[in-house]
């Protein structure tokens, strides 16, 4: 018997990894859709809201940082697992509004299925919605000005400018000048290339590595 939350959306620009994960999920009885970036994932969510979103953090166009931030605020009932080959350990990276973290290249598919079945607390996700920072791409207002960027307030939806005083500062708090709502900002750096990290070799045995009670 699988987890009652069995509708899964996987977002990752690594086509091979997405193909492998999709096949494993389907063989284990899950309904699964895949997306190459955050914009495509959002379109799929509008079409049908999944139970669980699994997203890579470093993707082109809209990164997983941005995607998870938007989904946590707009669709708080969706459980979310962040994944990346750039971080180690099972702790969710700071500022990422995910319910669990899957370090690609370190954990087996069986461990990913265990994460899926452990995520059930809707109340926790709703309470964490307001605390989720707004991740925005580090795009300048003008072609030659990389110190100022535009931010849309999630409360009043009006736009205001934010100055990047320190290029290395990834997180900041601003008050919207229009409605005074406090806005937690986090800046996304554009990835240089696709995260090619795959699954551990031993985990590619499809459902052989998935515990029987999770299939």
CA distance 102 to 114: 11
Whether residues 96 and 172 share a domain: the answer is no
Same domain, 98 and 164: no
Domain-located, residue 126? yes
Q: Check whether residue 76 and residue 146 sit in a common domain.
A: no
Q: Is residue 152 part of a domain?
A: yes
Residues 12 and 101 in one domain: yes
Q: Domain check: are 14 and 120 in the same one? A: yes
Residue 93, domain member (yes or no): yes
Same domain, yes or no: 17 and 116: yes
The domain tally of the chain equals: 2
Give per-residue pLDDT as tens, 7-43. Answer: 999 999 999 888 988 998 898 889 999 999 999 999 9
- Catalogue the E-assigned strands of the chain: 7-11, 31-35, 52-56, 79-84, 100-103, 134-137, 148-152, 159-163, 171-175, 182-188
Confirm if 67 and 42 have CB atoms less than 8 A apart. Answer: yes
47 domain-assigned: yes
What does the pLDDT look like over 35-61, one tens digit per residue? 999 999 999 999 999 999 999 998 888
Same domain, 151 and 57: no
Do 31 and 89 reside in the same domain of the chain?
Answer: yes
Highest-pLDDT range among 51-55, 93-97, 165-169: 51-55
Residue 97 CB partners (closer than 8 Å, separation 6+): 68, 69, 72, 80, 128, 129, 131, 132, 133
pLDDT bin (cut points 50, 70, 90) of residue 136 is low
Are 43 and 121 in the same domain? yes
Residue 207 lies in a domain: no
Tell me: do 118 and 147 sit in the same domain.
Answer: no
**Owning domain of residue 173:** 134-188
C-alpha 8, offset from chain centre: 13
Q: What's the pTM value of the predicted model, to 2 decimals?
A: 0.70
Burial of 32 (0-12, 13-18, 19+ CB in 10 A): buried
């Amino acid at each position: 018997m699988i987890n009652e939350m069995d509708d899964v959306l996987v977002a990752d620009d690594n086509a091979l990894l997405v193909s492998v994960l999709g096949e494993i999920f389907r063989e284990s009885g899950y309904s699964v859709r895949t997306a190459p970036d955050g914009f495509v994932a959002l379109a799929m969510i509008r079409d049908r809201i999944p139970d669980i979103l699994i997203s890579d953090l470093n993707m082109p166009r809209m990164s997983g940082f941005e995607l998870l931030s938007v989904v946590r605020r707009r669709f708080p009932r969706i459980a979310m697992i962040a994944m990346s080959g750039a971080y180690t350990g099972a702790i969710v990276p700071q500022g990422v509004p995910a319910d669990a973290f899957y370090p690609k290249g370190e954990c087996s598919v069986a461990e990913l299925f265990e994460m899926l079945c452990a995520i059930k607390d809707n109340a926790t996700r709703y309470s964490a919605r307001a605390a989720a920072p707004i991740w925005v791409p580090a795009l300048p207002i003008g072609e030659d000005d990389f110190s100022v960027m535009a931010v849309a307030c999630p409360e009043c939806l009006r736009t205001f400018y934010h100055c990047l005083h320190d290029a290395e500062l990834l997180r900041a708090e601003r008050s919207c000048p229009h409605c005074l709502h406090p806005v937690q900002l986090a800046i996304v750096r554009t990835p240089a290339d696709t995260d090619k990290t795959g699954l551990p070799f031993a985990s590619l045995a499809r459902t052989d590595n998935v515990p029987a009670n999770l299939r």
